[in-house]
Structure 1
Amino acid sequence: MAEAHQAVAFQFTVSPEGIDFQLSHAALKEIYLSGLRSWKKKFNQLRNGFVTGVYPASPSSWLFMVTAILVTQYSRLDPSMGMIEKIKEHLPVSDYLSDEGMDVLSATAFSTGLWLALIMTMRSILKMLLCYHGWMYEEHGKMSNTTKIWLALVKIFAGRKPMLYSYQASLPRLPVPALKDTVQRYLESIRPLTTDEEFQRMTGLARDFEQTLGPRLQWYLKLKSWWAPNYVSDWWEEYVYLRGRGPLMVNSNYYIMDFLYVTPTPIQAARAGNLVYAMMLYRRKLTQEEIKPMMIHGCLPMCSAQYERMFNTTRVPGLEGDTIKHLRDSKHIAVYHAGRFFRVSLYYNGKLLRPRELQAQFQSILGDPTPPSPGEEKLPALTAADRDPWARARNTYFQTGMNEQSLSLIDNAAFFVSLDTSEQGLREPNPGHSLDAYAKSLLHGRCCDRWFDKSFTLVVYRNGKSGINAEHSWADAPIVGHLWEYTIATDAFLLGYDANGNCKGDADPNIPPPQKLEWEIPQECEQVILQSFIVAQALARDVEFHIFTFKDFGKGLIKKCRTSPDSFIQLALQLAHFRDKGKFCLTYEASMTRLFREGRTETVRSCSIESCNFVKAMMDPTQDDNVRLRLFRVAAEKHQNLYRQAMTGAGIDRHLFCLYVVSKYLGFDSPFLREVLSEPWRLSTSQTPVQQLELFDLENHPDYISCGGGFGPVDDDGYGVSYIILGEDLINFHVSCKVSSQETDAHRFGLNIRKAMTDILALFQLNKRIPASGGQ
């Protein structure tokens, strides 16, 4: 422990001869290097904060401004129109400087004020420009003159070489949609899912809400939108995630898989060494804000706020609600293997451990024969089950002694690593079944070998395969996906392995071994752990996964249909679901709102009147393909418009959610909002975006493709579907559902998805005529 090193760095004994001082030079050196690293980090943070604070200008532009004003002063010109002289008259240091010094100081003060005013002006103009979303509604490949002028202005005012958080102050606030529009869009979304009588009843509730309670709640929301950076995100985090009392495992956490076809090395410790090192390189770039902000069309920035809590973060259980604990820095990781916990230091002599040195640390853990202490093996099950028992156990058994110290080391770790004792991945003789098992393992493992409270757990299997299990409250999947893309690309293409599969380089033999965490878990706590383990096991057994690769066609052929790949897949899911269950259902598709400050997600209600008309035509044998194709295009365009509305702040579900929160704060009960918020999402879908294409050379390395990620079903009788579009010819699907449901079957639904995809493509008759490429 670092605390132990510090404790023995300085010792003294009192004897008859006097006081004998004993100094540990090695410990003092470690303390010195630790402090030096901390001060360097603080300096970098101050520097980055200043650079970000003056963006889109740069510190050098201030020097240019001061120099230009001074030159004009000495040229007997006065660009300040007398303001420099007025500043000079009021300077408090007039008695200590010469007249020339006063001139320079007053000109510098004026230049600085002018420079800051220009920065604020540029930011205000950029913020106004970023409020324009007309470009999103234009046909792909056809840009209006208005959009061209707007795009040119954005490029002018957006600045150059932005850091990760450079655009945060320039992003617009998420607007509050008009109450009338939200109610109307809601009624439109439920029309195909209700009978005439049900629809009339909901219309009555909606209109009554719109005319009575709604305007009052709307006023409070608008007030919040003027005051807070985002009127949704803080309530979304608190009430959807942190106030939830159910298990995080399966219900909230999600997973991301490794390469589909390739395992860079079969040596578990070596793979863990490279991956952890790559993650620490990413953390260094994140701390120094060197990661480029995500941009649309190369110039439209998206919010970067969610990156802040990626590392050194854990979710702490509470009796009424959880909290997120985030540290500015952490110098170690927590590792779990075969029922034991270890602390692995990431630095030695002030330097980050190299991959081969990290491999040695992990190999030491794998070879450690020490058995788990009583209660230790299943301890992570507390994080897998209901939150209240975990909160009570934490307050009762983990507040003193070595339990407090060990738990603190886990909470304060940069992230959690699980060295899994099983083998996973795409394996013979049953590749399909092996992918299903791989997904289940990443999502819940053995229910006691993942620390579900950490921001993410890196899982490395015995055969070198890996993946991530991520906690959802602090950020959404694209943020963790960005980290994972960088990590596996750095591991495979930059770091690599030697001929024997070990990490490259040498290891310093003087690095101390990992520290095993010690626990004193009483029998009463063991009973709580066992009960949580039983609850988690039941939840895990009830989850069914079907992971499959769709190779018949991909984005390339879909674009030749002149339609959006996402709309194509979403309509295929609607058709597949109707074939699977014989009915339509409320459908959730996740969309991002990161075009706005602190934006997270919005819901696209993919089941629309237009999509239902298309599905009915596909199921009607009397309809011809021309009618079906026409209805498909109408439905696809409707879906695109719904997605655009969600991205531009005109979605309905976050607005309705916040209205509900305000009603609870005010003590009002709205039958309309109560019913809206209780409606089940029987089909929950999400696309996993590939964000850093430049990291993967699919032409020369076609096997180095990600398998994507997935999540558990949202409803007991529903499906969870995640998909990732890879290259031009491959789409990976992750389908989940509950085993206990009589309505669902993940493999059956997978077959229906395959058939729906091919049936829709057949409508375009691409084998007979191939239209000009287009699409969005």
Structure 2
Amino acid sequence: MKLSLLGDIQLPRLPVPPLENTMQKYLKTLQPLLSDKKHDEVKKLVDKFAGENGLGRKLQLYLLDRREKLDNWAYEYWLNDMYLNFRNPILINSNPGMVFPPRKFTTILDVARFTARLIDATLDHKEILNKKALPIEKATSRELGQPLCMAQYYRILGCCRIPGKNRDSQYIAEIVQEQDHPSEHVIVMCRNQQYCVPIQAADRGRLTEEEICAQLLYILNDAPCQGNIVPIGILTGWKRTLWAEARDELMRDEHNERNIDLINKALLIVCLDEALPPAFNCRLQKGGKGFNAGNRDESNLAHQMIHGGGSRCNSANRWFDKTVQLIISGDGACGLCYEHSMAEGVAVIQLLEQLWKHADSLGDPAEVLSLNISHLPPPERLEWILDANDMKRIEEAGEVVDNLVKDLDFQVFRFIGYGKSFMKSCKVSPDVYIQLALQLAYYKLYGKLTATYESASTRRFLLGRVDCIRSASPEALQWVMAMSQPKEDVNNKKVTFHLVSDDRKYELWCEAVRVQTQEMIDNILGMGIDIHLLGLREAARETSPTAASALPDIFTDESYRIANKFLLSTSQVATTMNSFMGYGPVEPDGYGASYNPKNDQIIFCLSAFWSSEVTSTSRFAQSLEESLNSMQVLLSRRNEA
């Protein structure tokens, strides 16, 4: 056992799964993805690697020794591989966006008051963090009541990702222990400009909500009056190595260096946006209607939160490296863009829902009109010292961002046929149910399954983040094949029959559910294969007597690439409010699919790239709807029998 870094709660270290178990699971994972001949070839590679004299056994001992020495043997490996080594732009490719139910703003005072409430509530939360008084969450299933690691909850406010030429790094704010009122500030972005707003100072204490509101009103009035604004924020949406080089050049000037330091250390960023044009991403949206802001639908709102709409809209009104960017626009659209390396969605969602509920609990912001605040200095507008090379980089970054934005095929699809109440009545976990629905939808479109990623929390362990639930199992393949069998005519008559009976389909369904459920349990209990395989791969690099790139055959064989090419990247993002979170695909020909199951509906956020000749969110949404309906028919008949 190991003491948690955040209190006296004891948390175990992440286990290193038995080598034999991981190898067996790996071979099973590859079954639906490879031909029988290729699978036999891979089995020989695995047997060689994990055999009595194989390199795998030595690497396993290396990981076991690493486990004894570190709080979490896999954390650095995983963080680098998942995030910090990533060299493409992080907007769309990495940063999720979250949409909250729109507000009704009549004046800029409404905007300022609501935003001030969010900032004020953020300070309340930061005080709890400084005291390390955040309640410890407990597991709600599988070893019920087991404490969960809270470390990532302390890596949200005041934190920032730092671009690097080969690998990014992180600025993580220290948790203040002695001072009751440490200095805090936020960065407010408006019309592509950055304003520093001190909201708490050691010498004068904490600003009131009215004082914060007055500072925001100043910005909302001042920003439109500024001319010749350089959209420097667009650089944060560039490729990571190029952004790192541009940042290094900027920081040669001490004025720019101070600006970047203020942004890095800000509690969070507030983006006061302009609304996207209603025609942005204009398309026929499938599913039940959700909310809208003005004439803008949910998909339009999601685009705003994920990327801002391009350089001519709000993409330069961002700092994509910052962990938390609250987004508020004058037409009432509200949401979040967050940098993913610091924390998983559950931690960020919990914070944001807390802020929104606080703002909602205080009534109409227009009721408070007393804003005669004259004793405060105005917010500081950050000014940048730029040369011709900086301007060229900004232009090039804008082109990259605009191309990414244009390429994103994104759709919010509300399935209103049923929700998790029906799934639970079938005695199936809603997450397992939806994962199998996604497999069926993919198979109906492409006639095969693909490597599928679903994040599984490993917070039962110290510094635990996630491992990968792989939903494309051999059992899932057998079930989706049965569900996709066509009907055939009998002697050219209208009577039709299924090649596979409903009873057989149900048997295959039960087996697929059993396997998927066990896969989920294995992962949350630290027995997933992806973190272990990553550890073995990195251990091989660290212990290789030759070049650092020397790897065992199982990691250089094409099968390993296929196993890790996630053309279906999925995640359950549950919320207590009528909000949702989405993100882009992780592969050029892949899909992103987040889902938020409610009692009577499921909110899907589906993404792909227009440049792909094989993907389409419209076709995927149609296939998903058909799959969910056919599953209901099958299971309803069984329940009635």
Shorter-chain TM-score range: 0.7 to 0.9
Distance 1:461 1:716, change over 3 A: same
Question: Contact conserved, 2:158 with 2:267, CA < 8 A, in 1?
Answer: yes
The Cα shift of 1:275 comes to 1.6
Question: Contact conserved, 1:175 with 1:225, CA < 8 A, in 2?
Answer: yes
Alignment correspondent of 2:571: 686
Distance 1:770 1:507, change over 3 A: farther
Alignment correspondent of 1:130: none
Q: Which amino acid aligns with 1:567?
A: V
Task: Say whether 1:763 aligns with 2:634.
Answer: yes
Distance 1:429 1:334, change over 3 A: closer
The Cα shift of 1:554 comes to 1.0
Q: TM-score, normalised by structure 2?
A: 0.87
What count of residue pairs does the alignment treat as equivalent?
588
Question: Contact conserved, 2:592 with 2:606, CA < 8 A, in 1?
Answer: yes
Aligned equivalents of 1:440 and 1:369: distance in 2?
24
Task: Say whether 1:166 aligns with 2:11.
Answer: no
Aligned equivalents of 2:238 and 2:317: distance in 1?
13
Q: Which amino acid aligns with 2:535?
A: C
Question: Contact conserved, 2:7 with 2:132, CA < 8 A, in 1?
Answer: no
Aligned equivalents of 2:449 and 2:113: distance in 1?
49
Question: Contact conserved, 1:206 with 1:672, CA < 8 A, in 2?
Answer: yes
The Cα shift of 1:338 comes to 0.8
The Cα shift of 1:265 comes to 4.4
Alignment correspondent of 1:724: 596
Aligned equivalents of 1:504 and 1:164: distance in 2?
45
Aligned equivalents of 1:503 and 1:626: distance in 2?
64
Alignment correspondent of 2:608: 737
Question: Contact conserved, 1:713 with 1:720, CA < 8 A, in 2?
Answer: yes
Alignment correspondent of 1:311: 157
Question: Contact conserved, 1:315 with 1:453, CA < 8 A, in 2?
Answer: yes
The Cα shift of 1:422 comes to 1.1
Question: Contact conserved, 1:273 with 1:503, CA < 8 A, in 2?
Answer: no
2:347 to 463, 470, 479: 479
The Cα shift of 1:325 comes to 1.2
Alignment correspondent of 2:49: 209
Alignment correspondent of 1:449: 317
Aligned equivalents of 2:104 and 2:129: distance in 1?
25
Task: Say whether 1:396 aligns with 2:260.
Answer: no
Question: Contact conserved, 1:586 with 1:681, CA < 8 A, in 2?
Answer: yes
Q: TM-score, normalised by structure 1?
A: 0.72
Aligned equivalents of 2:595 and 2:19: distance in 1?
33
Question: Contact conserved, 2:105 with 2:330, CA < 8 A, in 1?
Answer: no
Identity %: 30
Aligned equivalents of 1:407 and 1:237: distance in 2?
23
Distance 1:505 1:589, change over 3 A: farther
Q: Which amino acid aligns with 1:278?
A: A
2:81 to 225, 232, 239: 239
Distance 1:197 1:750, change over 3 A: same
The Cα shift of 1:278 comes to 1.8
The Cα shift of 1:234 comes to 1.7
Q: Which amino acid aligns with 1:352?
A: R
Aligned equivalents of 1:725 and 1:205: distance in 2?
41
The Cα shift of 1:401 comes to 3.2
Cα offsets for 1:373-428 (capped at 9, x unmatched) = 65x53211111111112211222222323222222221221111111011589338
Aligned equivalents of 2:461 and 2:369: distance in 1?
43
Aligned equivalents of 1:352 and 1:371: distance in 2?
29
Alignment correspondent of 1:671: 553
The Cα shift of 1:755 comes to 1.6
Alignment correspondent of 2:121: 278
Distance 1:504 1:172, change over 3 A: farther
Task: Say whether 1:747 aligns with 2:618.
Answer: yes
Aligned equivalents of 2:226 and 2:410: distance in 1?
31
Question: Contact conserved, 1:167 with 1:301, CA < 8 A, in 2?
Answer: no
Structure 1, unaligned stretches of length 5 or more? 1-122, 128-162, 694-704, 772-776
Structure 2, unaligned stretches of length 5 or more? 175-181, 279-289, 486-497, 545-549
Aligned equivalents of 1:458 and 1:255: distance in 2?
10
Task: Say whether 1:363 aligns with 2:217.
Answer: yes
1:652 to 522, 529, 543: 529
Map residues 172-187 of structure 1 onto 2, 5 A cutoff. 172-187=12-27
Distance 1:608 1:251, change over 3 A: same
Q: Which has the larger radius of gyration?
A: 1
Alignment correspondent of 1:601: 466
Q: Which amino acid aligns with 1:449?
A: N
Cα offsets for 1:429-452 (capped at 9, x unmatched) = 976xx2112111111113322101
The Cα shift of 1:164 comes to 10
Alignment partner of 1:562: what SS? coil
Distance 1:355 1:184, change over 3 A: same
Q: Which amino acid aligns with 2:600?
A: D
The Cα shift of 1:235 comes to 1.6
Map residues 522-561 of structure 1 onto 2, 5 A cutoff. 522-561=387-426
Alignment correspondent of 1:636: 513
Question: Contact conserved, 2:190 with 2:223, CA < 8 A, in 1?
Answer: no
Alignment correspondent of 2:448: 583
Q: Which amino acid aligns with 1:180?
A: E
Across the aligned residues of Structure 1 and Structure 2, the Cα RMSD in angstroms comes to 2.3
Aligned equivalents of 1:281 and 1:257: distance in 2?
23
Alignment partner of 1:324: what SS? strand
Aligned equivalents of 2:472 and 2:233: distance in 1?
39
Q: RCO (CA 8 Å, sep 6+): is it higher in 1 or 2?
A: 2
Cα offsets for 1:61-98 (capped at 9, x unmatched) = xxxxxxxxxxxxxxxxxxxxxxxxxxxxxxxxxxxxxx
The Cα shift of 1:173 comes to 0.8
